[in-house]
Amino acid sequence: MSHSFEYIDIILLAMIAGFIFLRLRGILGKKTGFEGKITRNFEKDFPKNIIKKKEKTNFFDEDMQKDFLVGAKIAYETIITDFSDSDNKLTNCKPLLGKKIYDQFKLALIDRENKGHFAEITFIGINSALIKEHKIVENNLEVTVDFVSELITCVRDKNKKIISGDPEKIKKVYDTWRFSKNIKSTNPNWLLIDTIT
């Protein structure tokens, strides 16, 4: 008889516990992963956070591109005209060249000198300079530019005989150059790192 009372006590206690659990769940609610609407303060801050994030990722905006192109045009003219100088030292454009390009230009100048050739380049002007692409490579921002320029070019031998070009004719030249700048460096200078044919 006492055993039956124990079973009844257990059943009653289980029913009371279940009732209390259901009441607490109804009052306190259950966690679903979404706890109602975003608070007003967060709603106000949310768009600002997105704008700030966009500003950080927009590392090369229109104003920066315009400023870059002004410098790229000056660099282009400096490098082209310096390449025609007879001293073979690339004095003016050396600070504008990455090591790989500097070595290539230097070898070309030495080869020209060994052959006894002289280049005459008259820079007329740049018709257009357009950014083809820009991207981050490791810590460097690389910008590829399509240049269209007008030059008078002529190569002569040691007897001043024309080997190539025409000293009287303006030639339209199409160049694609890639510039690079370390985005973590305080040095503002860009370097020419590649010429694409």
Whether 87 has a pLDDT exceeding 70, the answer reads no
- Taking the alpha carbons of 70, 74, 77, 83 in that order, is the dihedral positive or negative? negative
Helix (H) or strand (E) holding 81: helix 62-84
Same domain, 65 and 116: yes
SS3 at position 83:
helix
Query: CB under 8 Å, gap of 24 or more: what pairs does 61-66 form?
Result: 65/131, 65/134
Straight-line distance from the first to the last Cα atom of the chain, in angstroms, rounded to the nearest whole number? 102
SS3 at position 185:
coil
| Domain total in the chain | 2
Record the pTM: 0.68
Whether 145 has a pLDDT exceeding 70, the answer reads yes
**Residue 21 domain-assigned (yes or no):** yes
Sequence-ordered list of residues with C-beta below 8 angstroms from that of 77, at least 6 positions apart, any chain: 123, 126
Task: Give whole-number Cα distances, 118 to 91, 101, 175, in Å.
Answer: 17, 20, 22
Same domain, 68 and 21: no
**Nearest by Cα to 173 from 117, 122, 126, 105:** 126
Domain residues for the domain of 2 are 1-30
Same domain, 169 and 76: yes
**Residue 35 domain-assigned (yes or no):** no
| pLDDT tens by residue, 6-64 | 667 677 666 666 656 566 555 555 555 444 444 444 344 434 444 444 444 467 889 99
Whether 93 has a pLDDT exceeding 80, the answer reads yes
pLDDT at 165: 92
Contact between residue 80 and residue 119 where contact means Cβ atoms under 8 Å apart? no
Query: Which tokens belong to 90?
Result: 């690339």
Between residues 55 and 112, the one the model is more confident about:
112
Query: Which tokens belong to 131?
Result: 């950014």
